[in-house]
Structure 1
Amino acid sequence: MAVVAVGAQAARVETAARAAMGSRERFVMRAHYTHLSPTVFSKIVILVAQVQVSHHSAGAAVPRLVHAEGNEDAARTDGGAADPLIGQALWRLEDARSRAVEWSARIRNLDWAPAPGLSSAGDPLYHLAAIELDWLGSEVRGDDFPGGWEEWFPVDVRDEQGRLSEVRGETRERHLARLSWVRSGLLATLRVMTVADFREPRVLPAYTVTPEWVLHHLALHEAHHAGQIAFLGHLHRAANS
């Protein structure tokens, strides 16, 4: 009976949550939390609905996962690269990064998680840096990793169950410095690359990719986890309001 009651309450408040959340936020909710039990998932839905509805009730603008039109940075597509094609790809990647950093800045405690066994905002920040380094070193640079990378990545990116590793106790500054360290290496590599090399296939045992595809994939990956971080921020504010 208790589960039914919670489920009924979740059904009611999810309607309000759907009105308050953008479509990308709803996608992130489904992608990351629908594996939970009905009781736990219902509680999470209630939390985010409460914070979103409270924003609307107060007349406050609810943050979205898109930037306002007219942003001057949106007109910059050179990416600092010699070739415009590569520059545009780098700009898209940098724009996705700015959103991830912006959303994480709104979370007071990056170690907070909505429930035991779930990710905190710090976990995807660590994951983003690790995955970018892996693609850069393995695929783009041909198994050439920058020296000192072990100091930045003391734990594997995933645990034994395949979930994002829990990265706790690190400062916000450390997370951002790690992201910046990896990104600086990627930018230095790609900005001087020719279009021919940018589109040169990298043949690996399991697949073949080009640096062009790698940047496309990394931008999508970054945007996906930026949405996850944004959603965790909603839950964090609801739980601590």
Structure 2
Amino acid sequence: MNLFDIPFLVDNFLALCRGIPLTLQLTVLSVSSGAVLAMLLAGLRLSGNRVLDGLARGYIFVFRGTPLLVQLYIIYYGLSQFPELRRSFAWPFLREPYWCASLALCLNTAAYSAEIIRGGVIAVPLGQIEAAKAYGMGRLTLLRRIIAPQALRLMLPAYSNELILVVKSTALASTITMMEVTGIAAKLISASYRPVEIFICAGAIYLLLNFSITRLLRFFEHRLSRDQRPHVVATGEQA
């Protein structure tokens, strides 16, 4: 094994880069659809209705308490056992690895994101909400001007961690024949029998992707917290 075989590393790094578009597609699709489902689940948790809250709690308990790989296998291998599903409109999608992986990632991240959203909402000071109600704000205005901006700022650090986990979790799609970064890495290893160098290249790609995501989210967090940063008062004096 020669970790300093630069031409080999460069060639395989470039080959692995061909899987980045699919990795990003899985990430964007699962995160965006999962965010919509997460907001619905968070709404159920905050509804005050015991039945709706119980349904959301059950969903979150199941998907946070079981491995994502098991969920992926159940969707990809298990759903095909139901004849009714194979005759339904959903079968053209659920028989494809891409949509099964996206669905599994969506359902899984929604469970975690729902609790992040709920935590951000309940962290908004109650006094501000009561003051807004006393001022005569309607529910939509209250949500848009008081709750949502503060909840977003509070949940963004935790949600950035969830996005990183989703990017890394896309590697599991390789277990159902998806040729994203890890899938291509497995194919290259079977041809070269040099797993260490290839997995180092794959790890570097995931590291670069997650670094880019953290920088982007750090920028948004900085913009959202402008009003909380100390202001520099110009005194006109020179040191």
TM-score by length of 1: 0.32
Q: Which protein shows a greater Rg? A: 2
Q: Which has the higher helix share?
A: 2
